[in-house]
Structure 1
Amino acid sequence: MKITELSIVFVLIFLPIFWVVSHHTDSAREAQYLSNRYRAALQTAVMDAGAIMHQNEKQNDEAGYDSSKFVKADKELALLTFTQTMALNMGIQDDPAATKAMFNYIPAIVVLDYDGYYILANETELTGKLEGSFRHVWSPKKPYTYSDSNGSSMNFTLDGYVYAYDAGLGKWVEGFQKELAPSTQIPLLQNAELFEQVRRTRIVTSVQEDLAEVINRHNEFARRNGVSYTFTMPLISQEDWYNSIDDTGLMAFIQGIPVGNEKINNYAIGGGRLVKKTSIIGGVDPVSGIKYYYPSTCGNSYRAEEVFTDAKQAAGQGYFEYNCSIN
């Protein structure tokens, strides 16, 4: 067989293989890009929501609490901010239907407040119509509860402050663990190290148990909306759990969005404490349309689009540094 004939045979045999390999490589690259984009969108949305959830907090609500962690979370503002940032980063901010459909893949959002938590999830509603039988609702605030074998019970907070029923004394007491230890008969309050261990474990366990149940129920909602994915509780490291309960904040989960041959299964955690450093605003110059970042204390007429925790993160999202001193 001549060289030219061998070349033709080689091309006929291997060209389809090269095409398939190239196609899979392009698909994998696209899947990786989308995966990173969705994860970044979720993390940014959670950080935005966590940063803004306390902006309307009234200081007099904090009277009587010697704790920098006592702030009342504005969960509705947090949800609005989360939704807007997610839609913006996914390119569907002008499509209400797509924004609504996005929540098919968000089985739960958790707002961790100082003395309890809320979970946003789909719940059944007796509407008589299949398409309207689910709607997103916030759960009532669920306290971080604990009880012992002696009949005493406690509601924990994100620090050492506790609301407790002392079965031995037959009365309710409240205060910091170190303050209550000498005047109560509750064994857990007598040991500061054990108290802290049990407090953290109980808060994490309470949220985990509720989340697992909510995510499991989301499967029924997803099936009715054509999502062929089984939602499960994601594997979250113990370190992430303990970091999440160090402060008030927000947790969100995204699952089931197809990316190539795989599907996204991710979560993000964002804090919202008032004493955090000055946030970085990502804004747009209404004249030039150029995106700039600047401290929230900087006065200008730019339209705010996003909130970041530092300048590096803002620059990574395509914003240029704005010189506030020129104002």
Structure 2
Amino acid sequence: MKITDFCLVFVVIFFPVFLIVGYHVQDQRNVHFTELKYAAALRTAVQDAGSMLNVNERQEFESGYGSAKFFKADKELALETLYRTLYANLGIEDDAAAQQALNSYIPAIVVVDYDGYWVYSEEEYKGADGVALAKHLWHPKKPYSYSDRAGNLIHFTLDNVVEAYHAGTGTWVRGLQREIGPTSTIPLMQDGEKYEQVRKTTIVQAIEDDLANVINRHNEIAARNGVSYVFTLPLISREEWNNSIDDIGIIAFIQGIPIGEQALNNYALGSGRLVKSTVIKAGVDRRTGIRYYSRGDCTDDLDIVETFTSAKEAAANGYFEKSCSRAIEP
């Protein structure tokens, strides 16, 4: 057999393989780009929404009245801002059908307030004709509550302010834990270190349990509407949870959007704190294609994809630190 015959056989056998591999690589690139697009849109929307939580109309609702973390969180304004920014970043601000489709992939939104939290999720109800309908609604606000075996009840807040019910005397007391703890008959109130641990665990556990129940109900509604994707609560690290309950904030989830052979499963947390943190920009180097983040302004040669509030968060998302130093030309 001539060498040209071998070449022809090689091409006939392996050319389809090269085509399939090339298509798969391109598909993976498209999937990765789409994931980054949705992640950046959701993160930006949540950050914008978080900044709206501390916008109040009346002076008595502003911070500084007993606690630097107390605000009357404006959840309606935050929700409106979140959706408006999300639609704009995805290019569907004028497409009602696309907005409705996207909403079906948002199983839950949580607003973390100073003394409790709200959950915004899809719930079923019956219309005037008896037909089952579904709509996103706010659930009643839930306090950060803890009770012990003796029947004592504690309402936590995002800081050291506490409201406690003493079962033995049937009385309520409110104040700073470090001030009322020494005279309290509630064991947890007397141990500042243990109190802080239980406070954080109680707040996180309450929100996690509520989210799990809400997402389960969302699965039932989605299944009846023909959606086969099983929505699950993403694994959120304890560090992220602790950061999310350090101040009032908002948490949003996007799940189940088909992307290639996969489905998007993402979430974002935004804080309503007034202290402006450093924004770390992250993107792709135009020359090398390497993903970098920068603490400073040396991002001229980067195509910015996402922003982060910490270098650790940027690194966890696959970005390398970009040095601002430049070589001295001879």
TM-score (norm: length of structure 2): 0.82
Q: What SS does structure 2 have at the residue aligned with 1:7?
A: helix
| 8 Å contact kept, 1:104–1:227 | no
Residues in 2 aligned to 1:110 and 1:206: alpha-carbon distance in whole angstroms? 12
| 8 Å contact kept, 2:254–2:266 | yes
Provide the identity percentage: 53
Once superposed, which parts of structure 1, at least 4 consecutive aligned residues long, lie more than 4 Å away? 128-132, 310-313
Match of 1:316 among 276, 281, 304: 304
- C-alpha change, 1:105 and 1:228, in structure 2 (3 Å) is same
Displacement, 1:141? 0.5
Which residue does the alignment assign to 1:277?
A: 276
Q: What SS does structure 2 have at the residue aligned with 1:201?
A: helix
Q: 1:29 is aligned with what amino acid?
A: R
Residues in 1 aligned to 2:222 and 2:167: alpha-carbon distance in whole angstroms? 45
Which residue does the alignment assign to 1:105?
A: 105
- C-alpha change, 1:278 and 1:151, in structure 2 (3 Å) is closer
Summarize deviations over 1:53-98 as a string: whole Å, max 9, x none: 2223533125884211000111111111110111111121110111
- C-alpha change, 1:152 and 1:64, in structure 2 (3 Å) is farther
Residues in 1 aligned to 2:61 and 2:245: alpha-carbon distance in whole angstroms? 21
- C-alpha change, 1:141 and 1:312, in structure 2 (3 Å) is farther
Which residue does the alignment assign to 2:268?
A: 268
Q: 1:152 is aligned with what amino acid?
A: N
Aligned residues: 290
Summarize deviations over 1:223-260 as a string: whole Å, max 9, x none: 23332200111111111111110010000111111112
Residues in 2 aligned to 1:24 and 1:45: alpha-carbon distance in whole angstroms? 31
Q: Summarize the alignment of residues 169-188 of structure 1 with structure 2, pairs less than 5 Å apart.
A: 169-188=169-188
Query: Are 1:3 and 2:7 matched, yes or no?
Result: no
CA RMSD between the two structures:
2.6
- C-alpha change, 1:61 and 1:113, in structure 2 (3 Å) is same
Displacement, 1:26? 0.6
Q: 2:104 is aligned with what amino acid?
A: N
Consecutive unaligned residues of structure 1, counting only runs of 5 or more, are: 281-309, 319-327
Displacement, 1:114? 0.2
- C-alpha change, 1:82 and 1:200, in structure 2 (3 Å) is same
Q: What SS does structure 1 have at the residue aligned with 2:16?
A: helix
Q: Which moved more, 1:131-140 or 1:187-196?
A: 131-140
| 8 Å contact kept, 2:153–2:164 | yes
Q: 1:8 is aligned with what amino acid?
A: L
Q: What SS does structure 2 have at the residue aligned with 1:231?
A: coil
Which residue does the alignment assign to 1:160?
A: 160
Q: What SS does structure 2 have at the residue aligned with 1:46?
A: helix
- C-alpha change, 1:147 and 1:181, in structure 2 (3 Å) is same
- C-alpha change, 1:19 and 1:131, in structure 2 (3 Å) is farther
Residues in 1 aligned to 2:252 and 2:222: alpha-carbon distance in whole angstroms? 17
Displacement, 1:169? 2.6
| 8 Å contact kept, 2:63–2:71 | no
| 8 Å contact kept, 1:169–1:184 | no
Consecutive unaligned residues of structure 2, counting only runs of 5 or more, are: 280-295, 307-330
| 8 Å contact kept, 1:169–1:185 | no
Query: Are 1:51 and 2:39 matched, yes or no?
Result: no
